[in-house]
Structure 1
Amino acid sequence: MTTALTRNGTTPVTKHDRGKPSPRIKLTPEHIVIQHPDAEAGERLLGEALGAVDRDALHGILKQLMKASVILQKPDEANLAFMVSMMKSIAPRDSLEAMLTAQMVSVHVATMRSACRLAFTEDLAQQEGVARTMTRLARTFAAQIEALNRHRGKGERPITVQNLSVQDGGRAIVGNVAQHAHLTVGEPGSATDAGLVPSRDAGDPEPNLAEVLRGATA
């Protein structure tokens, strides 16, 4: 028994039957068919696998994937089944991930179509055009993977500080540190000239440069 997917109502997709394999789909001239003995259970399982929150969302994703599966101006059932299977393997967890993964599998299919055209094209100009298209699609796919990882919290890089030692009387600062240079003038051979004069504390008043220079040349 097979059940055609319809848009009547917005029955929520629940977590029932978790762990069971999701049903396959079949294309007919008029419908996208979910192959499952129980219509509601089939929609729940497939909707859960694709990250759809209700029947409308499930129908919309399947319809968009069907259009992206078109070969020679006709939806291809095997291509659509592959795209649905890839979405299942990525396991979108919410509506954002469902839309993003649908785009990812569509971009992948378009990339492989371009690869096929490139293999059968002998004209140099056409090869260059197809190669540029493949490059853009491949970059888009990589950006989509990065976006999915960021959304899932995998894009953050932890920073580890090791072997931190602080001498007696010193202070360790965690955060952004801004360093500012100060001009210090002293007599040749003096401690100031040798760089041995301690730096001015943040609370000390700013020295007058003219007075410092007059004292240095006196």
Structure 2
Amino acid sequence: MKHLTETTDNPPAEHRGRPLRSFKDDPLRGAAAVGSRSPAFGMTMLRQAHAALAQVPGTSADQRWAQFDALFDFLESVAPRDEREGMLAVQMFATHNAVMDCYRRAATPGQTCDMLDLHYKYAVKLGTLSLQQHAALDRHRGGGQQKITVEHVTVEAGGQAIVGDVSLAKGNGGPGGDGQRGDAGAGASERSPAQQVRVRQRTRNRR
């Protein structure tokens, strides 16, 4: 496992037998961890993620292996479905570690106010990036669908506010045509759920 760590070829006893230990003999496991079938892609992503871990002076080999275990557990929880999700998951892990390293540096005693301010600013920026990465993964898995929430509606005189799914009924669609309904509730049993309109509010002159 020398290709996965610079500190030791033999993981501590408590880490032996975990799935990531078999990457050398079964590289497809490493690929699956990042949503791929390519062993080369899988090992590249895992190496990059491991290299992005902030190394605190004095980190032991045991701690390095524990960090790699945490990386693999995180990838399993995200369960990337393709290479793009795998790349994003690796970036999410690296960004989180960068955020925590900024906070660690800010907690170091004896720093000036300017240094503290710098560390906290970078932590906030990286934290914002982390949220954007999570949102990007959600959008990718949702097929690009977005939810629009209307927070304020202005109803002019003679108008009406409608809440619900609105679709035109089949027909002429003109005044008096088959496509026009005089009442939102008329013929509701003949409409599909998507065609049914629920009127929440009407102005008094429409009642």
TM class, shorter-length = 0.5 to 0.7
For residues 86 and 63 of structure 1, the distance between their equivalents in structure 2, rounded to whole angstroms, comes to 15
For residues 46 and 57 of structure 1, the distance between their equivalents in structure 2, rounded to whole angstroms, comes to 9
Summarize the alignment of residues 27-176 of structure 1 with structure 2, pairs less than 5 Å apart: 27=5, 29=7, 34-36=20-22, 39-40=25-26, 43-72=27-56, 76-121=64-109, 122-153=111-142, 156-157=145-146, 161-162=163-164, 169=176
Q: Deviations over 1:123-158 (max 9, x none)?
A: 211111011101110110011111111111165245
The answer on whether the counterparts of 1:5 and 1:59 sit within 8 Å (CA) in structure 2 is no
Cα RMSD for the two superposed structures: 3.6
The answer on whether the counterparts of 1:83 and 1:106 sit within 8 Å (CA) in structure 2 is no
Q: Deviations over 1:45-100 (max 9, x none)?
A: 33213213211011101110121124147783222221221111111110100101
Match of 1:186 in 2: none
For residues 48 and 146 of structure 2, the distance between their equivalents in structure 1, rounded to whole angstroms, comes to 35
For residues 73 and 88 of structure 2, the distance between their equivalents in structure 1, rounded to whole angstroms, comes to 15
State the structure with bigger RCO (CA 8 A, min sep 6), 1 or 2: 2
The answer on whether the counterparts of 1:146 and 1:155 sit within 8 Å (CA) in structure 2 is no
Seen in structure 2, the aligned counterparts of structure 1 residues 130 and 148 have a Cα distance that, compared at 3 Å, is: same
What stretches of structure 1 of length at least 5 have no aligned partner? 7-25, 173-218
The normalised TM-score by structure 2 is 0.58
For residues 141 and 165 of structure 2, the distance between their equivalents in structure 1, rounded to whole angstroms, comes to 32
Q: CA offset at residue 115 of structure 1?
A: 1.4
Aligned length: 148
Seen in structure 2, the aligned counterparts of structure 1 residues 38 and 97 have a Cα distance that, compared at 3 Å, is: closer
The answer on whether the counterparts of 2:99 and 2:126 sit within 8 Å (CA) in structure 1 is yes
* Equivalent position amino acid for 1:107 in 2: T
Identity of aligned residues (%): 23
What stretches of structure 2 of length at least 5 have no aligned partner? 12-19, 149-161, 167-172, 181-207
The answer on whether the counterparts of 1:47 and 1:54 sit within 8 Å (CA) in structure 2 is yes
Seen in structure 2, the aligned counterparts of structure 1 residues 131 and 70 have a Cα distance that, compared at 3 Å, is: closer
The answer on whether the counterparts of 1:90 and 1:101 sit within 8 Å (CA) in structure 2 is yes
